[in-house]
Structure 1
C-alpha cells in the first residue's frame, strides 16, 4: 500500500534509444540492452555511448560475474553470452531447457546465474502459461530450480546471497525464494503484492528494499517486504528497469519508454535513461 509516498523528480541521463532493458553499473559505466536495436551499450558517467556490442538474437538481461566479465541474455536463441571486454562468445545454451525466449536473470556471490524465460510465445499472442527458473553454475551445467513461475522478469539476489527475488509481471507481484548453500531454491513466498502494478526490471538497495519499473503505469517505486511503497518516480509511458550506481553508489538509473504502445511498435526512439539521487544506495559499488 502507499502511505506518505515520497515523490522524486527525475533528470534525463541519455536518450535516443528504442527499448532499454536491464541497466547495470560497473566500473564507472552504465551498461544497457537496447532490445529492439539488438545492441548492448556502455554509457559513460556523462551518458555518452562509449562501447556497443551487437547481439543479433535480441539482448535482454545483463549481469556481471565476479571476474568482471559481462553476461548477456540472447533471448531468441535462448543463450547466455559472455563478453570478456574484447570478444563475445557463448556461455550457456538453454535452448533444450527453457520453454521460450530467455528474459532476465540474477547472479549470486558464487557466480550462479538464475535465469527466467517467457514460458510461451508472447510475441505471437499464445495463451499465458507458467514456466521454470533455471540455474547455470560456474561449470556451465544447467538445472531447473523452480517451476510454476508466471512470466519471470527482473531478478535480484539480496541478503548476501541468501534470497532471490523475481518479478512475476502479469501477476503484479514480487516473489522471494531462499537460496541454500548449494544454490537450491525453497520457501517460495510473496515479497510484495503490487495490487495491479506490473513489475518489470528490479534492483535492491542497501536496506533490502526493491526498486522496480512498472510496465503498465509508467512508475518506478520503492517497495518494502510486505508491500509498503515508500518512494515513487512517475513517467508518461512504461517504466522498464533500474539499477543503483554512480560514483557514490546513490544514483538510481531508470530506463523508461516515453509514449504509447503504438509509438513503440512504430519504432520511435523514445526510450531513455533517467536518474534520481537516493538517500539509501548500494552497500558495495564495483
Structure 2
C-alpha cells in the first residue's frame, strides 16, 4: 500500500537516496530538494533551466547537476553556487547522470520527443576523473534513467522509446561494450536493489501507470499501481520512494508551465521495499 510523503511538487525527477534523505529535481520550480522521512523539504540548490535536469555526486561528495537544455554539467561549490564542471553542449541536449564507484561520470542525452521514423539519436557520454570526455554509446531511443551494478561492471540504461532496458559491460577504462537487452520493458528514473532487481516507473499490460520491480530477462516481481505518471524511484532505509505527477510528454512543458506550476500535482509516494538499495545511483 502506498502513502503520500509530500505533495506540491511541479514534476519530481532524478530520485536519489543520499545522506539519509531522499533528493530529487523539482522540474518547473528549478529546485534540487532533499526530503526527510517526515516529508520536510529543503532546497539544496537552484538550477536556472527548464527540463531536464538531474543529479548525482562525485566521490568527494560534491553535488553534480546536469543542466540538460544547455548541455552543461555543473558542480556545487562550497558556497552553494553551481559552477561549470564540463561543457558538453557540442553533443546536444542532455538528460540523466550516474557516477560509478571510480569517479567516472556517465551522462546520456540526444532525447527527441518526436524523432524521425527509425532514428535513434540518443547517446551516452563518459567524463573521466581527469576531465576527458568520450562518446561511449550511440543509437539509443530516448535514453532515460541509468543504474550501475555494485561491482561497477555493468551499466543499464532505460531506452524509453524502444520499450526496453539496455545493458553494457563497463571496461576498466570506463568504455562500454557488449550491448544487450536487460529487460523488454520501458523505464525512466530507476534504481537497483540488493537482489539484483530494478525498480522503475512503467505500465501494466493494460496500460496503467505503475512502479515495476523486474528481474534481468523481464520477469515482473512486483507491481505498485500509480494514479499519475511515474517519473523516477529509488530505495532508502527500507522504503521505496516514487515520484509522480499529472503530466505527459505529449503536453508541451513550456507552453503549459503556468498550469503545471499552479496545479503542482507532483507527489512523493512511499511503499515498503522488499530489499535494500544496491549499486548506483
TM-score (norm 2): 0.88
d(CA) in 2 for partners of 1:141, 1:173: 30
Q: Post-superposition shift, 1:57?
A: 1.7
Q: Which residue of 1 aligns with 2:26?
A: 34
d(CA) in 1 for partners of 2:200, 2:6: 19
Q: 2:158 aligned with 1:170, yes or no?
A: no
1:62 pairs with one of 55, 61, 68 = 55
Say if 1:105 and 1:156, in contact at 8 Å, map to a contact too.
no
Q: Post-superposition shift, 1:259?
A: 6.4
Q: 2:276 aligned with 1:281, yes or no?
A: yes
- Count of matched residue positions in the alignment of Structure 1 and Structure 2: 267
d(CA) in 2 for partners of 1:169, 1:146: 16
Say if 1:218 and 1:256, in contact at 8 Å, map to a contact too.
no
d(CA) in 2 for partners of 1:57, 1:232: 33
Q: Which residue of 2 aligns with 1:154?
A: 145
Say if 2:192 and 2:280, in contact at 8 Å, map to a contact too.
no
Say if 1:202 and 1:212, in contact at 8 Å, map to a contact too.
yes
Moved more, 151-160 or 126-135: 126-135
Q: Which residue of 1 aligns with 2:122?
A: 131
Say if 1:178 and 1:185, in contact at 8 Å, map to a contact too.
yes
TM-score (norm 1): 0.86
Q: Map of 1:13-162 to 2, 5 A cutoff?
A: 13-58=5-50, 60-84=53-77, 86-96=80-90, 98-99=91-92, 101-120=93-112, 122=113, 125=114, 127=116, 129-162=120-153
d(CA) in 1 for partners of 2:83, 2:189: 25
Q: Post-superposition shift, 1:284?
A: 8.2
Moved more, 181-190 or 264-273: 264-273
Q: Post-superposition shift, 1:45?
A: 2.6
Q: Post-superposition shift, 1:130?
A: 2.4
Unaligned ranges ≥5, structure 1: 1-8
Q: Post-superposition shift, 1:244?
A: 1.1
Structural RMSD (CA): 2.2
d(CA) in 2 for partners of 1:285, 1:214: 20
Q: Post-superposition shift, 1:263?
A: 11
Q: Post-superposition shift, 1:283?
A: 4.5
Q: 1:239 to 1:51 in 2, by over 3 A?
A: same
Q: Post-superposition shift, 1:138?
A: 1.3
